[in-house]
Amino acid sequence: MTRTTLLSGAAALALSATGAAAQNACTTGNTIEDGVLTIATGNPAYYPWVMNDDPESKEGFEAAVAYAVANEMGYSDDQVVWTRSSFDQAIQPGAKNYDFNLQQFSITEARDEVIDFSVPYYSAAAAVLTRQPTADAGATNSIESLSGLKWGAAASTTAPTMIENLIDPEDPLLLYDDSADVVEAMKANQIDASLFDLPTALYLSAVTLDDGVLVGQFPPALSENPDQFGLVLAEGSPLKTCVDAAITALEQDGTLAALESEWLAGATGVPVID
Amino acid sequence: MTVHPDTEAVAPAAATGRTRRQAYEARVRRRSTAVAAASTALVVLAIVTLVPLAPGWEAVKRSFFNGEVFAQTFPTLVQAFLWDLAIFAWSVPMITVIALAVALARDARSPALFPLKLFGMLYTDIFRGIPVILVVYLIGFGIPGLGLPRPWNSPYIWGTVALVLTYSAYVAEIFRSGIESIHDSQRAAAASLGLGRADTMRYVVLPQAIRRVVPANMNMLIALQKDVALLSFIGPVEVLRQAGVFKSLLANFTPYVGAALIFLAVTIPATRYADYLMARQRRERS
Amino acid sequence: MLEMQAVTKAFGDNTVLDHVSLEVARGEMVCLIGASGSGKSTLLRCLNLLEPIDDGAILLDGQDISEPGLDPDPVRRRIGMVFQSYNLFPHMTAEENVMLAPRRVRGRTRADLRPEVAELFARFGLGDRMQHYPDQLSGGQQQRVAIVRALAMRPELMLFDEITSALDPELVGEVLDVLRQLRGEGMTMVLATHEMKFAADLADKICFLDAGRIAEQGPPSQIFEAPQKARTRAFLSRVL
């Protein structure tokens, strides 16, 4: 009696497993929790990447991309679970509590040695954010003009390196914890300018700063190292091939471009830096 | 006449010029040194052999103790630490002066000076009650936000002000405890010579009080040296921030270990020195 | 020169001086004797205005110095005081201890003071101790420095509060010699002391204090040889 129950139970399990595998090789066995895709984003997550800090609404570019990738991999919307993580948690060694993590992580070679990146889901232009008084004082979209400004940036982004390499300011760079502090320093007139990915810069100039101005952008195609965002996975994650396949498919069928124009519109019209 | 067995033991000790007590104490010292060395070696051996057996050790080693990253980042970190030293160096004299002034204000006895005393009390209560990082944020962003022109809105200036205000509150309390620890008989002796209150404070009480609280203040200085790193939150790229930049650039925590080593290189000798001063003071008073 | 009129002083409920009246003439040496806690020290501290009195009056050359609210510093400059536990300033050399008050209070310079300070040190056998710190000096030397420190202000009156009580017996003599020397120079002095023989030999007047009152006062011959009060006799029989 007991034996038969066990056997039939095992048979049922085996059956359902093969069934899922037949459905999609990405939905079984390789996630933290079987049948569920756990996705991490920042705490808080910002506009226009996640609207209202609520990724489950599917609103915002990264929230939408996350669900698109999940669907492509074979997960229904209900099988997606969100969690939060910091940048440090993403790069520290040890077990992760998410299957992939997206919060505008730029892909770099050094980072790639410690964690796995998916293929990029977005190539960001880097934009220079200043305030109206700085623009009025004659700041233009030339490197010469920009290098005379006082620069600040969020420390854990690729912006400090880009500023040093592309603009090489005369005054020492000041660094902050996050974009909110950078804006605060800008309001306090301690810095003139900072570099953000274009969507973030647009948001900050429109919403956070009363008198924000974008004086120029480094388009991804023009810069030597375009800032590309990738999903972060644990080093050696078995999901990488599934995730890469999903993103590639989304790119080819135009989904990514559509999401970009839906959520990141307005990225045009900012003068290019020369 | 019988020879007591002990006399044999006494003779060699006497020959080396040591008393029996000294010989005994030397033996005890040697034994405890040996025990201490052995147990330390054992613990170190256990750590060195057991920790690498942990399953995650290889990954931890790669991201925290990466020799390549260390060599690449350490010189820049040391350079960034010069900022920490500079901020520390110009903060200390200001803290000393303000802390003394506040301590004296709190000691004021004339009723006309009551507002001063009240101010001193409020000041120490408030600034000892707020985490340093909050003060750094509020003052470092808040005051420049009022619209000060450059260079007077510099984060270096207002970050320093935040540190100085916070630490002056603590050091003022230390000075005050020093002032209160000077026996009344010293004030009586000064008064009997016709010295006024101000002169008594300046020439008799303060010099002794300040000397007495040097060890306690050394500990505050060590804490200050570490808290200077909090200025990185409002812009300055000192060692902690520089390490953070390397961390996100290289996705590796080794620069933090390097920064920690730099701090230790300064704070451990300072801590030892403070302990030495404290021990010496205890000896002098007993 | 100095006159106490019915001086009363209490610490809380504890009356330490109870209607004490005492006169000290210029050049006189007055010794206060009595058991511990009889009020000798408090009496001296009141004379130097270190303790405010509750009632009565203290007159110095006819001026009421016990008036509440009076600035005590000018009075203290005229009255020197030496304490049982020396109370030297431990962070200063002997010479700096002595020079501090004349410099700060009288506005004199070190250079100007040096000859007379050196002379004072030499007079009391401390010529080679001027640059020593208090903890490098014996108890007797420290107490002599304390006396020199008080004298450097050129006081008209000196108060000594059991200044030999904290000393080892073999060091008492050198300090008493200093007092003898001062006596010979005509200094007006009030001493609280347990040195009965010294008091008997040198004092002009002996005051026996008992529980905050002056039980008996008079020349040494009277107090030591023919005490009138039973309490005086009882005290003397214990200490002599």
DSSP state of B39: H
Torsion sign over Cα A39, A43, A49, A55 = positive
User: Which of B 206-235 lie inside 8 A of C, CB atoms?
Assistant: 207-208, 211
**Given CB atoms, is A152 within the 8 Å cutoff of chain B?**
yes
Task: Collect all residues of chain B within an 8 Å Cβ-Cβ radius of residue C45.
Answer: 188
Substitution target from A117, A174, A187, A232 for chain B, most B beta carbons within 10 A: A174
ipTM of model: 0.90
**For chain B, domain boundaries:** 5-53, 66-285
Distance CA C195, CA C167 (A): 12
Q: Is residue A5 scored above 50 in pLDDT? A: no
Tell me if the pTM is above 0.80.
Answer: no
Angle at the Cα of C91 from the Cα atoms of C90 and C93, rounded to 5 degrees: 85
Angle at the Cα of C48 from the Cα atoms of C162 and B117, rounded to 5 degrees: 115
Are A243 and A37 within 8 A, CB to CB?
A: no
Burial (Cβ within 10 Å: 0-12, 13-18, ≥19) of residue A49:
buried
- Interchain pair B189, C88: CB under 8 A: yes
Give me the residue label for tokens 């509150």.
B169
- Residues C118-152: b if buried by 16+ CB within 10 A, e if exposed: eebbeebebeebbebebeebebbbbbbbbbbbbbb
Substitution target from A175, A191, A235 for chain B, most B beta carbons within 10 A: A175
Task: Collect all residues of chain B within an 8 Å Cβ-Cβ radius of residue A176.
Answer: 233-235
pLDDT in tens, A19-39: 343 345 677 778 888 889 999
Q: Is residue A126 scored above 70 in pLDDT? A: yes
Highest mean pLDDT among A16-20, A26-30, A150-154: A150-154
Query: Per the structure block, which two tokens stand in for C215?
Result: 């039980």
pLDDT in tens, A33-86: 888 999 999 888 888 889 889 999 999 899 999 999 999 998 999 999 999 998
Residue B208 pLDDT? 93
Residue A7 pLDDT? 43
Q: Is C69 helix (H, G, I), strand (E, B) or coil?
A: coil
Residue A45 pLDDT? 87
Amino acid at A3: R
- Interchain pair A185, B251: CB under 8 A: no
Residue A222 pLDDT? 57
Q: Is B93 helix (H, G, I), strand (E, B) or coil?
A: helix
Are A55 and A80 within 8 A, CB to CB?
A: no
Chains A and C, touching by 3 or more CB pairs within 8 angstroms: no
Residue C239 pLDDT? 83
Residues of chain B predicted below pLDDT 70:
1-16, 285-286
Q: Is residue A218 scored above 90 in pLDDT? A: no
Are A119 and A231 within 8 A, CB to CB?
A: no
- Interchain pair B245, A108: CB under 8 A: no
- Interchain pair A110, B250: CB under 8 A: yes
Of A160, A181, A190, which has the smallest distance from its Cβ to B154's Cβ? A190
Query: Per the structure block, which two tokens stand in for C41?
Result: 């020290």
Distance CA C219, CA C239 (A): 18
> What are the residue ranges of helices labelled H in A31-80?
61-73
DSSP string, B48-80: HHHGGGSTTHHHHHHHHS-HHHHHHHHHHHHHH
Q: What domains appear along chain A, each with residue ranges and CATH number?
A: 30-121+230-263 (3.40.190.10), 124-218 (3.40.190.10)
Query: Per the structure block, which two tokens stand in for A139?
Result: 């700041």
Q: Is residue A3 scored above 50 in pLDDT? A: no
Which one of 1.10.10.10, 1.10.260.40, 3.40.50.720, 1.10.3720.10 gives the CATH number of domain B66-285? 1.10.3720.10
**Given CB atoms, is B52 within the 8 Å cutoff of chain C?**
no
- Residues B193-222: b if buried by 16+ CB within 10 A, e if exposed: bbbebebbbebbbbbbbbebbebbbbbbbb
Task: Collect all residues of chain C within an 8 Å Cβ-Cβ radius of residue B189.
Answer: 83, 87-89, 146
pLDDT in tens, C74-93: 899 999 999 999 999 999 99
Distance CA C42, CA B108 (A): 26
> Is domain C2-239 annotated with CATH 3.40.50.261?
no
- Interchain pair B249, A110: CB under 8 A: yes
Helices vs. strands in chain B: H and E counts, helices first: 13, 0
DSSP string, A90-127: HHSSS--S-SEE-SSPBP-HHHHHHSEE-S-SEEEPEE
**Given CB atoms, is B181 within the 8 Å cutoff of chain C?**
no
Residue A141 pLDDT? 82
Residue A15 pLDDT? 41
Q: Is residue C9 scored above 80 in pLDDT? A: yes
